């Protein structure tokens, strides 16, 4: 790299690290993170046993289980590896953008990923999302190196990285599917080597196949039973760019001085226009098919929302696509011709909005309010209370933790190790008892007995 490029890249990496450290040091453990932490306090065999009833592969859980034994149970040290992985993803975004376009596009994409609100928000979650972005970028870059050089060393690294990606999150299958289609389309001269790479990946993934099948059997689609939502899919498609760049928060940051609807529409049109210009810029290049295929998960997830599963509208499912969107936005800004000043103004505005967002993230009373912190403190302290009271076997049921924090249902342990509810008045008057409904469903289908079977001395928190 030229010295100027290296200097810009170092500045972007430091910025990405600073944003993620700023987010990680806010005490904000949410119920999903609380579940990850609480589960990973257990011995590794119990972690693997419970994952049979979960819906995620084991890599992030096993890693966190080991990390907790090093740093203990304070929240900020728990987040540090996720901070470092997110910063690594910024650097990998540059490498892949340089490979598909050039150094300038790589720097633009890395800069966007360094500051984009969804990226630093979910990169620092104590969940598997922090692994998805860097491993998808690493696997894609190694795939291109294997395709270009034909060296078996790159292929060996590709097989290992692809396996780690699948062990980290099931959305990794979409990334590997893109590689496979691209190889059949543009990489037929390397199919033999690539077949060996993917064979190694499959061999390394074999130990988890029983766990994956167990999850399918235990979940039985119970988490995704909602009906079609075409309106939600169209809405999400329209606001995808402002959502993933953080620009949708511009209206709120101005104190309502700008109307939210028009701001979202104008921002979406400008960003989608940049992306289309970026596609036109990439068209003559050989990397075009791969980048388009890497963006295909956007269409697949939106189709899933429209046809059956509104749950797929959660923003965290789309964060690993930000680097690929950033490459096209950077290419679009560099190739905008007479519209280049407008294009760069939009990208600078995105940076300023995200700078304001990280400031608000640090000082906002929401993240330190009693209503939010009470669930987080309870999740962190639950294991210690139960262990001392009832000879607890380090077990808790995920949905109860989730509904506890979301619906502000307060638990109180009695001396026997059981618990009972206290409802906030506004919640009690609503007449809705989602925890009780969920409990009834799990008793009816005998899920309680199945997930508690591995534990010799379970204490169920009711």
Q: Comparing 140 with 446, which gets the higher pLDDT?
A: 140
Q: Which residue has the tokens 């065999």?
A: 45
The partner residues of 423 in beta bridges, in order of sequence, read: 409
Which of 15-24, 42-51, 66-75, 213-222 shows the lowest mean pLDDT across its residues? 213-222
Q: Which residue has the tokens 């860097």?
A: 134
376/28 Cα distance (integer angstroms): 7
Q: In this predicted structure, what is the pLDDT of residue 398?
A: 39
What are the φ and ψ backbone dihedral angles of 143, each rounded to 5 degrees?
-60, -45
- What's the distance, CA 291 to chain centroid? 20
| Closest to 178 in 3D by CA, of 273, 284, 59, 96 | 96
The partner residues of 412 in beta bridges, in order of sequence, read: 420
Q: In this predicted structure, what is the pLDDT of residue 43?
A: 79
Percent of the chain with pLDDT over 90: 32
Q: In this predicted structure, what is the pLDDT of residue 97?
A: 92
> Does the pLDDT value for residue 152 go beyond 60?
yes
432/225 Cα distance (integer angstroms): 20
User: What is the length of the chain?
Assistant: 462
Q: In this predicted structure, what is the pLDDT of residue 188?
A: 85
Average pLDDT over residues 217-224: 55
448/442 Cα distance (integer angstroms): 6
Q: In this predicted structure, what is the pLDDT of residue 103?
A: 92
Which of 317-331, 370-384, 428-442 shows the lowest mean pLDDT across its residues? 428-442
> Does the pLDDT value for residue 377 go beyond 90?
no
Q: In this predicted structure, what is the pLDDT of residue 389?
A: 26
Helix 59-71, helix 44-51: angle, nearest 10: 150
Which of 132-141, 322-331, 364-373 shows the lowest mean pLDDT across its residues? 364-373
Q: What is the pLDDT of residues 70-128, one digit of tens each?
A: 887 777 888 899 999 999 999 999 999 999 888 999 999 999 999 999 999 888 888 88
Q: Which residue has the tokens 């892949």?
A: 96
Average pLDDT over residues 210-234: 72
> Does the pLDDT value for residue 335 go beyond 60?
yes
What are the φ and ψ backbone dihedral angles of 422, each rounded to 5 degrees?
-135, 125
245/241 Cα distance (integer angstroms): 6
Q: In this predicted structure, what is the pLDDT of residue 1?
A: 62
Q: Which of 5-9, 302-306, 336-340 has the highest mean pLDDT?
A: 5-9
Q: What is the pLDDT of residues 247-289, one digit of tens each?
A: 888 877 777 677 878 888 899 999 999 998 888 887 666 667 7
Average pLDDT over residues 292-301: 86
Q: Comparing 183 with 28, which gets the higher pLDDT?
A: 183
| Closest to 344 in 3D by CA, of 280, 274, 253, 269 | 274
**Residues 114, 12: contact at Cβ < 8 Å?**
yes
Q: In this predicted structure, what is the pLDDT of residue 438?
A: 43
Q: What is the pLDDT of residues 382-438, one digit of tens each?
A: 444 333 222 223 333 333 343 333 333 333 323 333 333 333 333 333 333 333 344
| Closest to 91 in 3D by CA, of 4, 17, 13 | 13
Q: In this predicted structure, what is the pLDDT of residue 289?
A: 79
**Residues 292, 266: contact at Cβ < 8 Å?**
no
Q: What is the pLDDT of residues 360-375, one digit of tens each?
A: 877 765 444 444 444 4
> Does the pLDDT value for residue 235 go beyond 50?
yes
Q: Comparing 427 with 43, which gets the higher pLDDT?
A: 43
Q: In this predicted structure, what is the pLDDT of residue 318?
A: 87
Percent of the chain with pLDDT over 70: 73
Q: Residue 20: count other Cβ atoms within 10 Å of its Cβ.
A: 28
Q: In this predicted structure, what is the pLDDT of residue 8?
A: 94
| Closest to 51 in 3D by CA, of 197, 216, 176 | 216
Per residue, what are the HEC states of the chain? Answer: CCHHHHHHHHHHHHHHHHHHHHHHCCCCCCHHHHHHHHHHCCCHHHHHHHHCCCCCCCHHHHHHHHHHHHHCCCHHHHHHHHHHHHHHHHHHHHHHHHHHCCHHHHHHHHHHHHHCHHHHHHHCCCCCHHHHHHHHHHHHHHHHHHHHHCCHHHHHHHHHHHHHHHHHCCCHHHHHHHHHHHHHHHCHHHHHHHHHHHHHHHHHHHHHHHHHHHHHHHHCCCCCCCCCCHHHHHHHHHHHHHHHHCHHHHHHHCCCCCCHHHHHHHHHHHHHHHHHHHHHHHCCCCCHHHHHHHCHHHHHHHHHHHHCCHHHHCHHHHHHHHHHHHHHHHHHHHCCHHHHHHHHHHHHHHHHHHHHHHHHHHHCHHHHCHHHHHHHHHHHHHHHHHHHHHCCCCCCCHHHHHHHHHHCEEEEECCCCCEEEEECHHHHHHCCCHHHHHHHHHHHCCHHHHHHCCCCCCCCCC
Q: What is the pLDDT of residues 50-62, one digit of tens each?
A: 777 677 899 988 9
Model confidence band, residue 153 (pLDDT cutoffs 50, 70, 90): very high
What CA–CA distances, in Å, run from 88 to 55, 95, 385, 401? 26, 11, 37, 31
Q: In this predicted structure, what is the pLDDT of residue 280?
A: 84
């Amino acid at each position: 790299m030229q010295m100027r490029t290296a200097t810009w890249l170092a500045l972007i990496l430091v910025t990405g690290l600073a944003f993620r450290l700023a987010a990680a040091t806010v005490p904000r453990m949410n119920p999903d993170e609380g579940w990850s932490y609480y589960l990973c306090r257990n011995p590794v065999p119990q972690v693997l046993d419970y994952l049979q009833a979960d819906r995620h592969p084991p890599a992030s859980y096993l890693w966190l289980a080991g990390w907790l034994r090093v740093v203990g149970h304070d929240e900020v040290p728990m987040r540090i590896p996720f901070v470092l992985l997110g910063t690594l993803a910024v650097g990998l975004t540059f490498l892949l953008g340089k490979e598909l376009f050039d150094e300038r596009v790589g720097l633009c994409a890395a800069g966007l990923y360094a500051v984009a609100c969804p990226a630093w928000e979910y990169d620092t979650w104590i969940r598997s999302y922090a692994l998805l972005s860097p491993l998808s970028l690493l696997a894609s870059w190694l795939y291109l190196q294997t395709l270009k050089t034909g060296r078996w060393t790159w292929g060996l690294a590709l097989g290992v990285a692809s396996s780690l990606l699948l062990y980290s999150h099931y959305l990794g299958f979409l990334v590997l599917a893109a590689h496979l289609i691209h190889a059949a389309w543009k990489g037929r001269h390397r199919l033999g080597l690539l077949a060996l790479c993917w064979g190694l990946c499959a061999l390394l993934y074999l130990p988890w196949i029983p766990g994956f099948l167990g999850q399918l059997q235990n979940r039985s689609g119970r988490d995704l039973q909602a009906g079609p939502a075409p309106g939600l899919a169209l809405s999400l498609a329209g606001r995808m760019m402002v959502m993933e760049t953080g620009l949708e928060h511009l209206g709120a940051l101005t104190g309502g001085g700008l109307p939210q609807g028009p701001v979202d529409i104008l921002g979406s049109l400008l960003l989608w226009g940049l992306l289309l210009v970026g596609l036109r810029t990439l068209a003559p290049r050989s990397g075009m098919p791969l980048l388009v295929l890497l963006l295909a998960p956007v269409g697949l997830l939106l189709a899933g929302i429209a046809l059956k599963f509104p749950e797929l509208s959660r923003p965290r499912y789309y964060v690993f696509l930000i680097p690929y969107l950033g490459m096209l936005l950077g290419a679009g800004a560099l190739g905008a011709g007479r519209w280049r000043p407008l294009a760069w103004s939009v990208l600078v505005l995105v940076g300023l909005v995200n700078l304001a967002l990280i400031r608000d993230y640090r000082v906002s009373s929401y993240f330190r309010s009693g209503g939010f912190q009470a669930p987080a403190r309870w999740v962190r302290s639950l294991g210690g209370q139960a262990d001392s009271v009832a000879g607890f076997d380090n077990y808790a049921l995920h949905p109860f933790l989730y509904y506890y924090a979301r619906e502000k249902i307060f638990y109180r342990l009695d001396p026997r190790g059981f618990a009972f509810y206290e409802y906030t008045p506004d919640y009690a008057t609503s007449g809705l008892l989602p925890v009780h409904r969920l409990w009834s469903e799990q008793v009816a289908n005998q899920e309680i007995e199945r997930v508690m079977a591995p534990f010799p001395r379970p204490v169920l928190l009711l």
